[in-house]
Amino acid sequence: MKKYIYIVVLMCIGMQAYAQTYEELVGKAMDAVEADSLYDAEKFFKEALNKEPANMGNSLLLSNLGTIQRRMGKNKEALESYTLALNKSPHSVKILLNRASLYLELDYLEKAYSDYCNVIDLSPKNKEALQFRAYIYMRQRQYNEARNDYRMLLEEEPANKTARIGMVMANQKDGRYKEAFDELNRLVTDFPNDASLLKARAELEVEMNSLDLALLDLEEAVKKTPNDADIYVMCGDIYLMQGRKREAYVAFEKAIELGIPRPQLHDKLKASKK
């Protein structure tokens, strides 16, 4: 009798699970997401998709599933989910951006580039797509194309700091030093507490062979971030260029004191002792 009751209970539980509607499964998946229970969320999303494979809302579910899988480190499965979502909704800017960002994270530059181009075709002023397509152009040394995307961003948002810095980098890499230097001057004025901008200007000044100006910027940068070991490495490099070996040695030792591994600076220390 007990065995019979046990079987009946199991059958009831099974029927109850089977009877869960598409909406209930989606609800459980979203609750699991809220609770950060990623494995449960993945399971419920998959069950909902299997429950109604032709449901018009499945493109969103597949996109959500892809994001969950990405957070779980299942990048291959995430790409498959995003691609299935795009098969159902090929003009979804959100899903294209999701897949593009994962392609970029995995360093699949051509595939990411293609998705970002598709986003820009659909939404020409999309900031995320313009910014990351410009980044890809920079990686590929297509500096003029990168400038065009940064220019588009700045037309929409003239104060966009990322785009302004990107324009500086594109001009610097392309040998357009005056344009890069002028914009860096404006950035330093607009963001006086940002030591990274002073470091960037110092790097450009080194390329322009304005070594004393570079040292002045690095001295100002170290006042703002006194524990930045990289600043001392940069100073040491400049001192070596100027033949000031003792000062270079002191700068490299300070960088080591602040956390740079000594073996990493072995050659520089050796050069400063010759």
Q: What is the pLDDT of residues 169-219, one digit of tens each?
A: 999 999 999 999 999 999 999 999 999 999 999 999 999 999 999 999 999
The predicted pLDDT at position 38 comes to 79
Residue 59 lies in a domain: yes
Average pLDDT, rounded, for the chain: 90
Q: Does any domain span residue 39?
A: yes
pLDDT at 10 over 70: no
129 located within any domain: no
Q: Per-residue confidence at 222, pLDDT binned at 50, 70, 90?
A: very high
- The answer to whether residue 46 is domain-embedded is yes
- Residue at 97 is within a domain: no
- Is there a domain that residue 36 lies in? yes
The CATH number of whichever domain residue 43 belongs to comes to 1.25.40.10
102 within domain boundaries: no
Domain that holds residue 56: 20-90
Helix axes 38-51, 58-71, angle to 10 degrees: 150
What is the predicted pLDDT for the residue at 35?
A: 82
Q: What is the pLDDT of residue 15?
A: 36
Q: Is residue 60 part of a domain?
A: yes
pTM value is: 0.84
pLDDT tens by residue, 39-87:
887 887 788 778 887 778 888 889 989 999 999 999 999 999 999 999 9
What's the domain count of the chain? 1
Identity of the amino acid at 36: D
Q: Please report which confidence band the pLDDT of residue 91 belongs to, taking 50, 70 and 90 as the band edges.
A: very high
pLDDT band at 28 (very low <50, low <70, confident <90, very high): confident
Specify the range with the lowest mean pLDDT, choosing from 40-54, 135-149, 232-246, 257-271: 40-54
